[in-house]
């Protein structure tokens, strides 16, 4: 409880009895005049008569002293007895008969009077943000002023507490004299000063100048730099001579940086900035530093489907195209064999200083196995290898690590029409083949599977004679006839006209694959590698059999007998599966990759 101030011991109404009546009357009148000076809300002068632990007793010339709470003083320990003090008389006498005074309110009243006398709307005033209230901040400018949250800064404020207890300038935007309400703005002041700085900057700035600025904002494509008047754009490509994936790798918001003016657009009021231009361009002596053929060491910094970018020096990157990754492997995309951050050796293949491009090759760091292929595998030599993969037109056989040969379907069998290599081979099969052709420049070796075997047609002409009866199994049907296997790997064609004495509309109505039939040989052509058969003729007596032109219908030279199997597939819409899509290459063809 606050200590009750002592009453004046000498009262003007209790004078010694020996005083004259006139004197007593004069003093009473003076006291009444003094009382009239003490009105609630007035500012009065006082004197410190006592300093206590948490309050100060002040004599204001009234019958009782006033008490000022200790928290109204910035430094209570500095208050001394006898100090003059100005206070606001809040209440002449409260319920306890005490005088209620306030030093703080007296100061606010004086300050408010000063504000009204010296300031108008639009004036500048200095203050300290002392607290947060609903909708904004409380600013001490001598009196309490309201700062709306939107008026704190020119940019959105994430943490208003960063502005607390800081002395700053504000612009008065509204004064309400009746309510004694003051509204201030820091944003309007900053924007006004920024407009002035912008005009000054645009009159002074020139391309090539170096200027200091502060990083205001970061985006994916660059950074906006505050040049003390307006913002300039520092594009990510102008931050470093090397690769920058994101501006945050180089800069941070609030960082001070010195930049070069690259371009000024007065009409659009845009400024382009450069940071890398502050340093030496590493491409200036690139041809001398990295001549063609030099071996370099670097780190993979980016991967694209078409190749890998390798940093060989700070600010210098070269491109390794997918075609330059391996001598022997067909690589679809660089990511299949390389990873970002991987260190590699490469050879400089080309340098373009003007376009700032360097072509590199990784495969050139190793010997090209195809340079010795022609000597290692001469035409006519036999090789053994494993079937690695299929295409529509052949099978790839691995001859050695990184070197494949291709067996075209036309070189798989002497006697059968092979539509797809899977009809004769399986992946992983070990095969023996003959080298037919070597194209080291295009990294191709043509192999023959049938050439590694004896050609059965050398004896077929002697083994099968026209008129000879044969027994076989239907192996395939076509719209024009049926193929009949008369021995392992040897097919003959029964044309639709030679199936029955009666007219046959559809072959499948009479014959089925796997069905065993008897037939008579009506034609043997070892040059065309064809055998013509007739089921009708097999029913004739030997003495009645005679080959005539009607029997050979459909078996004319140039028409397919054994090779018509492909037409069969086309006629019935058969699509041969393709395990791997690839460009067809036949032996002897020269086709650029």
- Superfamily name with CATH number, domain 119-190: Nucleic acid-binding proteins (2.40.50.140)
Strand partners, 17: none
CATH of 286-365, one of 2.40.50.140, 2.60.40.1120, 2.40.50.70, 2.40.420.20: 2.40.50.140
Residue ranges with strand state E in 75-179:
84-91, 99-102, 124-133, 136-140, 144-148, 167-176
Q: What is the tens place of the pLDDT at every residue in 531-578?
A: 899 998 898 888 888 888 777 766 665 444 444 333 333 333 333 333
Answer with the residue of higher pLDDT: 314 or 23. Answer: 314
Decide whether 369-452 matches 457-562 in CATH topology. Answer: yes
Domain 369-452 class, CATH top level: mainly beta
Is the pLDDT score of 6 beyond 50?
no
Separation of alpha carbons 123 and 114, rounded Å: 13
Separation of alpha carbons 242 and 309, rounded Å: 11
DSSP letters of 521-578? Answer: EEEEETTTTEEEEETTGGGS-TTT----TTTTTT--TTS-SSTTHHHHHHHTT-----
Q: What is the tens place of the pLDDT at every residue in 396-445?
A: 999 887 788 999 998 998 877 788 999 889 999 999 999 999 888 788 89
Q: What is the model's pLDDT at position 117?
A: 75
User: Worst-scoring range by mean pLDDT, 166-175, 383-392, 555-564?
Assistant: 555-564
- Fold classification of 21-106 is OB fold (Dihydrolipoamide Acetyltransferase, E2P) (2.40.50)
Q: What is the tens place of the pLDDT at every residue in 34-87?
A: 555 677 778 888 899 888 888 889 988 887 888 888 888 888 888 899 988 888
Separation of alpha carbons 329 and 241, rounded Å: 34
Q: What is the model's pLDDT at position 512?
A: 93
* Bridging pattern class, strands 144-148 and 357-361: unpaired
Helix H or strand E segment including 436? strand 430-439
Domain 457-562 class, CATH top level: mainly beta
Separation of alpha carbons 340 and 302, rounded Å: 6
Can you tell me which residue has the tokens 């080959």?
547
Token readout for 521 is 């040989």
Residue 137 makes CB contacts below 8 A (sequence gap 6+) with: 129, 131, 146, 147, 149, 152, 160, 163
pLDDT, the chain, mean: 81
Closest among 5, 2, 3, 10 to 64, alpha carbons compared: 5
Separation of alpha carbons 393 and 407, rounded Å: 9
Q: What is the model's pLDDT at position 580?
A: 37
Separation of alpha carbons 131 and 163, rounded Å: 10
Is the pLDDT score of 588 beyond 50?
no
Q: What is the model's pLDDT at position 581?
A: 34
Q: What is the tens place of the pLDDT at every residue in 174-197?
A: 888 777 788 989 988 888 888 888
How would you class 110 by CB atoms within 10 Å of its CB: exposed for 0-12, middle for 13-18, buried for 19 or more? middle
Separation of alpha carbons 228 and 257, rounded Å: 12
Asked if 501 contacts 534 with a C-beta cutoff of 8 angstroms, the reply is no
**Domain segments of the chain: what residues?**
21-106, 119-190, 205-278, 286-365, 369-452, 457-562
Architecture of the domain spanning 205-278:
Beta Barrel (2.40)
Is the pLDDT score of 266 beyond 90?
no
């Amino acid at each position: 409880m606050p200590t009750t101030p002592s009453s004046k011991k000498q009262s003007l109404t209790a004078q010694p009895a020996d005083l004259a009546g006139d004197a007593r009357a004069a003093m009473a009148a003076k006291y009444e005049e003094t009382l009239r000076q003490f009105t609630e809300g007035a500012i009065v002068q006082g004197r410190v008569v006592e300093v206590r632990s948490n309050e100060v007793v002040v004599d204001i010339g009234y019958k009782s002293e006033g008490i000022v709470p200790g928290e109204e003083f910035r430094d209570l320990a500095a208050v001394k007895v006898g100090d003059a003090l100005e206070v606001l008389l809040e209440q002449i006498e409260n319920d306890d008969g005490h005088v209620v005074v306030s030093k703080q309110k007296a100061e606010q009243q004086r300050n408010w009077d000063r504000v009204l006398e010296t300031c108008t709307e639009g004036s500048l005033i200095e203050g300290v943000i002392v607290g947060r209230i609903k909708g904004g901040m409380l600013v001490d400018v001598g009196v309490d002023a309201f700062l709306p949250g939107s008026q704190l800064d020119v940019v959105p404020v994430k943490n208003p507490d960063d502005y607390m207890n800081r002395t700053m300038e504000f612009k008065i935007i509204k004064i309400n004299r009746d309510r004694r309400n003051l509204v201030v703005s820091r944003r309007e002041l900053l924007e006004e000063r920024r407009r002035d700085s912008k005009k000054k900057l645009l009159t002074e700035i020139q391309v090539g100048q170096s200027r200091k600025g502060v990083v205001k904002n970061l985006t994916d494509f660059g950074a906006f730099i505050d040049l003390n008047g307006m913002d300039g754009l520092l594009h990510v490509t102008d931050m470093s001579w090397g690769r920058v994936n994101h501006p945050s790798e180089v800069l941070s918001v609030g960082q001070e940086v010195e930049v070069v003016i690259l371009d000024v657009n007065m009409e659009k009021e845009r400024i382009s900035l450069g940071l890398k231009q502050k340093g030496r361009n590493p491409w200036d002596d690139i041809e001398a530093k990295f001549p063609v053929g030099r071996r370099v060491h670097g780190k993979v910094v980016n991967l694209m489907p078409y190749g890998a970018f390798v940093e060989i020096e700070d600010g210098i990157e070269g491109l390794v195209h997918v075609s330059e990754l391996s001598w022997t492997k067909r690589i679809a995309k660089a990511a299949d064999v390389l990873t970002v951050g991987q260190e590699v050796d490469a050879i400089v293949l080309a340098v373009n200083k003007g376009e700032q491009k360097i072509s590199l090759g990784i495969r050139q760091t190793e010997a090209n196995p195809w340079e010795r292929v022609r000597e290692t595998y001469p035409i006519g030599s036999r090789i053994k290898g494993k079937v690695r993969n299929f295409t529509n037109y052949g099978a790839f056989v691995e001859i050695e690590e990184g070197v494949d040969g291709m067996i075209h379907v036309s070189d798989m069998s002497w006697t059968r029409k092979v539509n797809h290599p899977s009809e004769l081979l399986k992946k992983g099969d070990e095969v023996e083949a003959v080298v037919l052709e070597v194209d080291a420049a295009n990294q191709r070796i043509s192999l023959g599977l049938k050439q590694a075997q004896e050609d059965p047609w050398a004896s077929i002409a002697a083994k099968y004679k026209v008129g000879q009866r044969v027994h076989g199994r239907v192996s395939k049907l076509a719209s024009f006839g049926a193929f009949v296997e008369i021995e392992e790997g040897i097919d003959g064609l029964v044309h639709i006209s030679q199936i029955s004495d009666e007219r046959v509309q559809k072959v499948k109505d009479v014959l089925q694959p796997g069905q065993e039939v008897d037939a008579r040989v009506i034609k043997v052509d070892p040059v065309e590698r064809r055998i013509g058969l007739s089921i009708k003729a097999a029913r004739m007596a030997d003495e009645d059999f005679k080959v005539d032109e009607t029997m050979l219908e459909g078996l004319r030279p140039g028409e397919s007998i054994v090779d018509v199997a492909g037409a069969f597939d086309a006629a019935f819409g058969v699509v041969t599966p393709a395990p791997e899509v690839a460009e067809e290459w036949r032996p002897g063809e020269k086709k650029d990759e």
